[in-house]
């Protein structure tokens, strides 16, 4: 009985930004547990390779779709095509993200726009396109990717922090509207993980030492440590959980 609560086998999951890095690992976690996975990115060739590898390694059904998550019209069209070709997803994971670093006074407006569009607006666009069909069906799981920067700021990344704070509040707003339709919307906020986006950080000896001192667990997170929370939020085990922001951060946001 307890295993059935966490069963995602046969569910159709769309994961944005999943041709590599964190998104690819989240897709793998769902695929290894029997979900049908739709990878997303902007480069069809990279996606085709990623889909072939994931299918070969997991035995799961893996498709892919290429579109720009920052283009509202492109998102709407692509989601309609996904539904026609594969059916309506049971699970949406809004993972697409972008990081740019600069002192606040030197940040350019175009860079702000790019970060907010990729991290925050895209989550709205994709979820908005799926919310109507999911509401009509009467079920859905939406997981947005936040960050410890949803709660904590750090120098040189003010736009990123603002965008991830927005993701956390967007999650609550979506939950307020969609819970009545049996759609659960939650947020996973990772701490510092050894991802492609963070390569410059975890290869920096001083920053590496700072992270290990700042984090109660005294280490970086490993990507597979996000999977348990993801499966929980995508399964029946979380059917009465909505609007929550779960920090998977080794205790970082719990201490000063």
Question: How far apart are the C-alpha atoms of 205 and 85, rounded to whole Å?
Answer: 47
Tokens 């999977």 belong to residue = 227
Q: Which is catalytic among the residues 160, 181, 192, 232?
A: 160
**Residues pairing with 186 in the sheet:** 143
Question: How far apart are the C-alpha atoms of 250 and 209, rounded to whole Å?
Answer: 15
Closest by CA to 74, choosing from 36, 117, 45, is: 117
Tokens 């609560």 belong to residue = 5
Question: How far apart are the C-alpha atoms of 122 and 48, rounded to whole Å?
Answer: 22
Tokens representing 177 are: 């509207």
181 is catalytic: no
Tell me, rounded to whole angstroms, the distance of Cα 54 from its chain centroid.
18
Closest by CA to 156, choosing from 101, 100, 211, is: 101
| Cα–Cα distance list, 138 to 67, 91, 180, 220 (Å) | 27, 13, 9, 39
Asked if residues 62 and 39 have their Cβ atoms less than 8 Å apart, the reply is yes
Cβ atoms within 10 Å of 67's Cβ, excluding its own:
19
Active-site positions read: 160
């Amino acid at each position: 009985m307890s295993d059935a609560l966490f069963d995602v086998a046969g569910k159709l999951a769309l994961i944005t930004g999943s041709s590599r890095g964190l998104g690819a690992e989240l897709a793998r976690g769902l695929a290894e547990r029997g979900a049908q996975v739709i990878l997303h990115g902007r480069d069809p060739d990279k996606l085709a390779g990623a889909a072939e590898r994931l299918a070969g390694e997991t035995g799961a059904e893996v498709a892919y779709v290429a579109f720009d998550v920052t283009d509202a019209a492109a998102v709407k069209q692509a989601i309609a095509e996904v539904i026609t070709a594969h059916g309506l997803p049971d699970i949406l994971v809004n993972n697409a993200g972008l990081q740019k670093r600069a002192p606040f006074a030197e940040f350019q407006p175009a860079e702000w726009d790019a970060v907010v569009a990729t991290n925050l607006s895209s989550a709205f666009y994709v979820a908005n396109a799926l919310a109507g069909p999911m509401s009509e069906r009467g079920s859905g799981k939406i997981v947005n990717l936040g960050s410890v920067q949803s709660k904590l700021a750090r120098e040189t990344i003010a736009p990123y922090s603002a965008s991830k704070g927005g993701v956390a509040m967007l999650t609550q707003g979506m939950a307020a509207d969609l819970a009545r339709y049996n759609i659960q919307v939650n947020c996973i906020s990772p701490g510092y993980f050894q991802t492609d986006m963070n390569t410059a950080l975890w290869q920096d000896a001083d920053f590496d030492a700072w992270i290990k001192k700042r984090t109660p667990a005294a280490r970086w997170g490993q990507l597979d440590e996000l999977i348990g929370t993801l499966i929980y939020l995508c399964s029946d085990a979380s059917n009465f959980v909505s609007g929550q922001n779960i920090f998977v951060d080794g205790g970082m946001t719990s201490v000063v």
